[in-house]
């Protein structure tokens, strides 16, 4: 990839001529045939990979409506192209890829890879439309895990109980490297984009999908011109094991709160912290002020009640509940927010921001005994079951003998064993920056599944590693050239938050990174939907004055400190 970008007017002129060239020559129907697609396969794009031309399928889909918080709602026609490839020398290996092709008249010289969530490497039809909406080819992969619906966890262990390293590397970064490398050349071939014409490549994903985007930026500086990622599931060793921290605190303290008691504490937290940002709007926009000012002890004895709930997909029925908030519950919540500490009192990992739901603290209701017991967090338990115990289990049955130190040991083991594949926090992005790449990274400030501080920590790691010795002002300005982080007030994990319903969401983040890359439109703030249309760029923080009439993004060293943690339990740096 050339280091200098064409200027905006040149790019616009090229775009115009490209659109004219293709729209004059072909329709969506013309390019949506197996023969046309098979002839466009980039057979030599990836060394060691054999693409099977006989596997090509195409189908023309008309009037498809795509709706998501990750892109504006849109109705369009597209061609669904799928094919398969295998890695030479690996038995029983078959990777399926799917590309959605826009009508040639809609094509704007762009390719967009999309990622998955949880243990999934794609998001089915819910993410891939973003490519078409952006005027590009959208791509997704099945990682070689079987089909587009099969997840990595299902193939993580081989029959003899050893780690499936091929699948682990594919999940870690290899499948996305191949998806984009093939996708970019395929796009050129399908739309007749010459080698001398710039084809822009982008990535969009949230959660595990966010990690997948970073896996490319950190390893392949030329892969994407821009990525729009939310709440990345990076720092995998800590991230996955940390889901068990809430459970171990409960087990250690011998207290399992009811769902209603937790919800009551959360509601009181939101009500109490909402105004601290200067505007009473039901949204905790400054969870740092909440952490520092909340009167938790004052909640003890407050009455709560909830109606019986039928239970449903993934949750069991619960009876009508009422009671008063106990001192035990408050002690539990205080420990939860303080983060995991080892038996020497050293901090191992940090927690979620106050105001978010207490998902990792959820206990299970036992109707027989009419009591609340340990419910092992699935995300944490499956990681330990598969990759540490190697038991081919779906979750750990219990946490017998598991202590805070055990959690730390599991994190250390995970880092040492899988860190190069899954940690995804390599902090030196010098080559990506030099290649002109841009990152828009956002994170819900009330995320209950990946701590908001996790994204702040990585941004700060990059700043400190790349701009060592520079002042905060200088290094922040240098970061602004290529990597911008925005916290999203009130937002939950890669989704809006039903408990703070008027909160914003950065629905147009992919278009924002495209405009930054192609037009040089630098995003000072990120646009949000809902009641807050301006998302501040880290380290700036939102604050309202004039009874909530006036919003500004302010400097706040106290806020930056509140999101910074010394993970003194580890001897190696944890980026
Ligand atoms: C690409 O070029 C070929 C050969 O000229 C032509 O048949 C095809 O329609 C073109 N494709 C597009 C999308 O314009
Ligand atoms: C396209 O879909 C919309 C709603 O999904 C429907 O109202 C409309 O009639 C459809 N148009 C065509 C041409 O099928
Ligand atoms: C795309 O095509 C593949 C292969 O035929 C099919 O399995 C998949 O369901 C199609 N996807 C959509 C959204 O039509
Ligand atoms: C487990 O099975 C895989 C695949 O058959 C094989 O390559 C590997 O050597 C086996 N490992 C052990 C310890 O048996
Ligand atoms: C918490 O607030 C929600 C509204 O956001 C309400 O529906 C729910 O009943 C409240 N829960 C408790 C325990 O008060
Ligand atoms: C809750 O506290 C109130 C006083 O604030 C008391 O009257 C009531 O009995 C308590 N309820 C329970 C279930 O302990
Ligand atoms: C529920 O409680 C009953 C009675 O104490 C006990 O026998 C049973 O094991 C419990 N079930 C679970 C899933 O813990
Ligand atoms: C827990 O530790 C005790 C004492 O070391 C041991 O007897 C017991 O088997 C352990 N339980 C589990 C489930 O590992
Ligand atoms: C809001 O703040 C801006 C700049 O900080 C100021 O110019 C403006 O007058 C303020 N508006 C109100 C209504 O106070
Ligand atoms: C924040 O800290 C930096 C040094 O870390 C200092 O230069 C700056 O003046 C401080 N800003 C405020 C508002 O206190
Ligand atoms: Ca507020």
Which of 215, 414, 493, 562 is labelled catalytic?
493
Token reading at 434: 């030099």
Q: What angle do CA 21, 200, 19 make, to 5 degrees?
A: 15
- Read off the pLDDT band of 314 (50, 70, 90): low
Options 123, 127, 207, 215, the catalytic residue: 207
- 447 noted as active-site residue: yes
Distance CA(123)–CA(557), nearest Å, equals: 38
According to the model, what pLDDT value does residue 2 have? 36
Candidate from 305, 322, 324 with most ligand 6 atoms within 8 A of CB, to mutate: 324
Ligand 8 atom nearest 400 alpha carbon: 13
Bridge partners of 550? Answer: 545
CA distance 198 to 194: 8
Q: Which pTM was predicted?
A: 0.94
Has 207 been annotated as catalytic?
yes
Query: If you take atom 6 of ligand 8, which residue's CA is the nearest one?
Result: 401
Tokens read off for 128: 């891939």
Q: Shortest CA distance to 69 belongs to which of 355, 448, 497?
A: 497
**Mind listing the pLDDT tens digit for each residue in 455-471?**
999 999 999 999 999 99
Does ligand 3 have an atom closer than 6 angstroms to the CB of 125? yes
Q: Within its chain, how far is the Cα of 404 from the centroid?
A: 26
Q: Which of the residue ranges 330-334, 344-348, 364-368, 417-421 would you say has the lowest mean pLDDT?
A: 364-368
pLDDT for residue 139 is more than 60: yes
Query: 55, 59, 101: which to mutate for ligand 3, most atoms within 8 A of CB?
Result: 59
In the chain, domain spans: 5-198, 234-422+454-575
pLDDT at residue 11 tops 90: no
> What percent of the chain is modeled with pLDDT above 70?
95
Residues framing ligand 1 (Cβ under 6 A)? 22, 25-26, 30-31, 104, 191-192
CB-count burial class (<10 Å; 0-12, 13-18, 19+) for 534? middle
Note the pLDDT tens digit of each residue in 107-125.
Answer: 999 999 999 999 999 999 9
Gap from CA of 373 to ligand 7 centroid (Å)? 9
Quote the pLDDT of residue 24: 56
> Tens of pLDDT along 152-183?
999 999 999 999 999 999 999 999 999 999 99
The Cα 288–Cα 453 span in angstroms is 11
Give the residue whose CA is nearest to atom 10 of ligand 4: 160
Q: 299, 234, 242: which is closest to 265 by C-alpha?
A: 299
Residue nearest (by alpha carbon) to ligand 7 atom 13: 366
Q: Which residue has the higher pLDDT, 409 or 22?
A: 409
Q: Is 431 a catalytic residue?
A: no
Q: What pLDDT score was predicted for residue 312? A: 72
**DSSP code of 522?**
-
Residues 483-518 have pLDDT tens digits of: 999 999 999 999 999 999 999 999 999 999 999 999
For ligand 6, atom 10, the nearest C-alpha belongs to 324
Residue 534 CB partners (closer than 8 Å, separation 6+) = 525, 526, 527, 528, 542, 551, 553
Q: Annotated catalytic residue: which of 277, 281, 360, 447?
A: 447
Describe the crossing of helices 208-219 and 175-191 by its angle, rounded to 10 degrees: 80
């Amino acid at each position: 990839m050339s280091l200098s970008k064409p200027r905006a007017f040149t790019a616009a002129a090229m775009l115009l001529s490209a659109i004219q060239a293709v729209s004059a020559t072909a329709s969506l129907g013309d390019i949506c045939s197996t023969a046309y697609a098979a002839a466009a396969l980039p057979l030599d794009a990836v060394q060691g990979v054999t693409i099977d031309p006989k596997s090509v399928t195409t189908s023309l889909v008309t009037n498809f409506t795509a709706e998501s918080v990750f892109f504006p709602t849109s109705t369009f026609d597209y061609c669904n192209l799928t094919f398969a490839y295998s890695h030479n020398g690996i038995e029983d290996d078959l990777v399926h890829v799917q590309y959605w092709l826009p009508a040639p008249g809609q094509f704007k010289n762009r390719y967009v890879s999309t990622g998955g969530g949880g243990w999934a490497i794609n998001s089915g039809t819910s993410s891939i439309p973003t490519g078409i909406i952006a005027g590009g080819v959208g791509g997704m992969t099945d990682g070689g895990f079987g089909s587009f619906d099969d997840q990595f966890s299902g193939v993580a262990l081989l029959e003899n109980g050893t780690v499936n390293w091929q699948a682990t590397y594919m999940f870690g970064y290899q499948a996305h490297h191949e998806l984009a490398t093939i996708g970019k050349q395929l796009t050129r071939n399908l739309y007749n984009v010459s080698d001398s014409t710039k084809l822009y490549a982008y990535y969009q994903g949230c959660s595990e999908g966010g990690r997948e985007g970073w896996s490319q930026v950190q390893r392949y500086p030329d892969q994407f011109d821009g990525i729009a990622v939310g709440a990345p599931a990076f720092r995998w060793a800590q991230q996955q094991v940390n889901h068990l921290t809430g459970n171990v605190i409960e087990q250690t303290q011998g207290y399992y709160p009811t769902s209603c008691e937790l919800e009551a504490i959360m509601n009181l937290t939101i009500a109490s912290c909402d105004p601290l940002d200067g505007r009473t709007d039901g949204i905790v926009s400054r969870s740092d002020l909440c952490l520092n000012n909340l009167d938790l002890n004052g909640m003890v004895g407050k009455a709560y009640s909830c109606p019986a709930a039928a239970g449903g997909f993934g949750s069991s029925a619960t009876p009508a509940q009422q009671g008063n908030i106990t001192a035990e519950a408050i002690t539990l919540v205080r420990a939860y927010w303080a983060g995991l500490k080892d038996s020497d009192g050293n901090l191992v990992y940090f927690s979620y921001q106050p105001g978010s739901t207490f998902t990792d603290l959820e206990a299970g209701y036992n109707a027989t005994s009419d009591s609340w017991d340990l419910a092992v967090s699935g995300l944490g338990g499956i990681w330990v079951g598969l990759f540490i115990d190697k038991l081919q289990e779906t979750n750990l049955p219990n946490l017998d003998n598991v202590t805070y130190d055990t959690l730390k040991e599991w994190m250390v083991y995970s880092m040492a064993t899988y860190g190069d594949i899954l940690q995804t926090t390599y902090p030196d992005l010098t080559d990506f920056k030099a290649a002109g790449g841009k990152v828009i990274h956002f994170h819900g400030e009330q995320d209950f599944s990946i701590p908001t501080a996790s994204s702040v920590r990585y941004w700060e790691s990059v700043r400190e590693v790349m701009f060592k010795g520079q002042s905060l002002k200088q290094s922040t300005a240098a970061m602004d050239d290529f990597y911008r982080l925005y916290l999203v007030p009130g937002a939950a994990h890669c989704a809006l938050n039903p408990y703070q319903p008027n909160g914003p969401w950065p629905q147009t983040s992919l278009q924002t990174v495209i405009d930054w890359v192609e037009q040089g439109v630098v995003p000072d703030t990120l646009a949000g939907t809902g009641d807050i249309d301006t998302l501040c760029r880290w380290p700036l923080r939102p604050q309202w004055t004039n009874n909530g009439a006036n919003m500004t993004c302010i400097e706040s060293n106290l806020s930056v400190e509140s999101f910074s943690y010394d993970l003194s339990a580890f001897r190696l740096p944890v980026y």
